[in-house]
Structures are given as structure tokens and as C-alpha cells.
């Protein structure tokens, strides 16, 4: 079964750093890009960025460029999303999703279960 399993919920203080993870299984991890999506409380989905685990080529949405870092460790089939200094406004649910591509096909599936990040003093 193809699946993405994300790390557990986090509670942090403003200014702290954080790295959350997304582990892929059931497929060749380096063959498909992994994207990250933010969902603030009660709000819609926002595209943050995407990484090719094979060569670490990364593309960020302008809104998130410089605010987060996306990385991957292909040796353990895991993608990461990290912050160097959290703000209260980073409180949100974060999802990872695999971008499947084939001849004339692009879709995002599966999705991870989500990681809730709460930043509060």
C-alpha cells in the first residue's frame, strides 16, 4: 500500500525551531515529488512547496519562500518541513502529498494524515 505517514502533533513557543516529517512507503520514494500544504484553523488549503527526493530540487510558493525549508533524506524515504524561528501565525495543520506523474497524468495522492503545529507562548 502506498502511504505517507507524518510525524505527530507539536506544541512550540514563538522563536523555537521545528522540523516535521513525512515518511513514504510502498513505492519508489525517489521517483515522485512530495509537496507540502498548510491549512490554518478554519481556513482553506495553501500550497507551500514541493521537493524531488531524488535530487532535492525544491520549488517554493512565493508566500513561503524564506519562511520554511523543505528537504528530504532519500536513504530513509522521508521528506521534511522545517522552521528556524516559529511564529504564532505558523499554527496550522500541515499535510504532505505525493505528486504522481505518468504520461499525461498528474495527481496528488496519497496525502499524509496531517501534522498539527501549535505555536503559543
Partner 1 sequence: DIVMTQTPLSSPVTLGQPASISCRSSQSLVHSDGNTYLSWLQQRPGQPPRLLIYKISNRFSGVPDRISGGGAVTDFTLKISRVEAEDVGVYYCMQPTQFPYTFGQGTKLEIK
Binding site for partner 1 (CB under 8 A): 35, 37, 44-47, 49-50, 59-62, 95, 97, 99, 104-109, 111-114
In the complex, least distance from residue 62 CB atom to partner 1, rounded to whole angstroms: 7
Structural contact between residues 35 and 12, judged by C-beta atoms closer than 8 angstroms: no
Q: Nine-digit cell at 10? A: 507539536
Residue number with CB closer to partner 1 (16 or 111)? 111
Residue number with CB closer to partner 1 (37 or 86)? 37
Residue number with CB closer to partner 1 (24 or 49)? 49
Structural contact between residues 22 and 78, judged by C-beta atoms closer than 8 angstroms: yes
Instruction: Evaluate the CA torsion angle 10, 14, 16, 22 in order and state its sign.
Output: positive
In the complex, least distance from residue 14 CB atom to partner 1, rounded to whole angstroms: 27
Amino acid at each position: 500500500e502506498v502511504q505517507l505517514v507524518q510525524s505527530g502533533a507539536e506544541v512550540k513557543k514563538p522563536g523555537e525551531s521545528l522540523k516535521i516529517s513525512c515518511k513514504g512507503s510502498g513505492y519508489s520514494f525517489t521517483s515522485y515529488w512530495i509537496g507540502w500544504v498548510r491549512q490554518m484553523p478554519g481556513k482553506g488549503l495553501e500550497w507551500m512547496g514541493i521537493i524531488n527526493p531524488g535530487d532535492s530540487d525544491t520549488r517554493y510558493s512565493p508566500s513561503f519562500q524564506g519562511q520554511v525549508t523543505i528537504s528530504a533524506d532519500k536513504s530513509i524515504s522521508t521528506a521534511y518541513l522545517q522552521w528556524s524561528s516559529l511564529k504564532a501565525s505558523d499554527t496550522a495543520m500541515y499535510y504532505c502529498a505525493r505528486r504522481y506523474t505518468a504520461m499525461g497524468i498528474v495527481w496528488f495522492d496519497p496525502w499524509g494524515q496531517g501534522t498539527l503545529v501549535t505555536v503559543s507562548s
